[in-house]
Amino acid sequence: MGKGISIALDGPAGSGKSTIARAVALKFNYIYIDTGAMYRAVTLKALQNKIPMDNGEALTQLANQTLIRLKYIESEGFSQLRVIMDGADVSDAIRSLEVTNSVSLVSAVAGVRVALVKLQRDMAQEGGVVMDGRDIGTVVLPDAELKIFLTASVKERSKRRWLELKAKGIEVDPDELEEQIRKRDEFDSNREVNPLRQADDAILLDTTALSIEEVTDRIIELAVARGGEL
């Protein structure tokens, strides 16, 4: 895999970051780095160890002692990104509702962010990456050649998340889910450490009325204009 450009995708929960990032990375044969999964892994470990979500010191220590790797595994002709925490595959466990409801609290801890941002920068130092999260363009990769801020209406994002959970056999109340996403938006945008915001040089893409293919094609077009080679 040759060196390429760095693409930063930011945006709130349910805006399509992970799905789009995977598709773009596949198109360019770039490495996809799911930073949200990394914070979820630390959150899962904190829950497993019964660490209170308001104990910043303990959460920071936990993050510094946790080994997280993103590993691609070939399965049925497809390359799947798996999250390996301390040697165990936690790709499915980190998507539980319990983790989802706690990850914003863990990711708001300054020490946790310092530990994971360092790891994320190390992963991306060679270029040829697509990284998604909430502070990629503003903090993790401020010099990325292409920065995109994805957004969508709260109603559309909650609908996407509801369909995602339903496909996994998880039943949740749609109205309750919409309220959870609304609260998470408010929390992530107003936290003291690296809040969710659009970088000054990021391109805003509202995905409310767009298909995955339409958004992916637009980002590929922008990436090629910034030096990305297909």
Half-sphere exposure of 84 (CA within 13 A, CB side): 9
Q: Is 1 part of a structural domain of the chain? A: no
Q: Strands across the sheet with 146-151, in order? A: 31-34, 129-133, 6-10, 146-151, 203-206
Sign of CA dihedral 65, 62, 49, 179: negative
Q: Is 228 part of a structural domain of the chain? A: no
Q: Is 229 part of a structural domain of the chain? A: no
Please name the residue ranges forming H helices in 12-137.
17-28, 35-48, 56-64, 97-107, 110-124
Q: Is 89 part of a structural domain of the chain? A: yes
The CATH number assigned to the domain holding 88 equals 3.40.50.300
**pLDDT at position 13:** 86
With cut-offs at 50, 70 and 90, classify the pLDDT of residue 1.
very low
With cut-offs at 50, 70 and 90, classify the pLDDT of residue 81.
confident
Residue 2 has pLDDT above 70, yes or no: no
Q: Is 230 part of a structural domain of the chain? A: no
Q: Which tokens is 172 given? A: 């949740």
**pLDDT at position 222:** 97
Cβ pair 70, 34 in contact under 8 A: yes
**Span between the terminal Cα atoms of the chain, in Å:** 12
pTM for this model (two decimals) = 0.87
Q: Is 37 part of a structural domain of the chain? A: yes
Which residues neighbour 26 within 8 Å (Cβ) at sequence distance 6 or greater? 32, 79
Q: What is the mean pLDDT of residues 70-94?
A: 87
Query: How many structural domains comprise the chain?
Result: 1
Domain range for 50: 6-223
At 14-60, the pLDDT tens digits run 898 989 999 999 999 999 999 999 999 999 999 999 999 999 999 99
Q: Which tokens is 86 given? A: 């301390």
Alpha carbons 211 and 50: distance in angstroms, whole number: 40
**pLDDT at position 215:** 96
Which residues neighbour 50 within 8 Å (Cβ) at sequence distance 6 or greater? none
Q: Is 187 part of a structural domain of the chain? A: yes
Which residues neighbour 16 within 8 Å (Cβ) at sequence distance 6 or greater? 150, 152, 160, 207, 212, 215
At 111-151, the pLDDT tens digits run 999 999 999 999 999 889 999 999 999 999 999 999 999 99
Half-sphere exposure of 223 (CA within 13 A, CB side): 28
Residue 68 has pLDDT above 60, yes or no: yes
Hey, is 151 helix, strand or coil? strand
At 9-19, the pLDDT tens digits run 999 988 989 89
**pLDDT at position 168:** 83
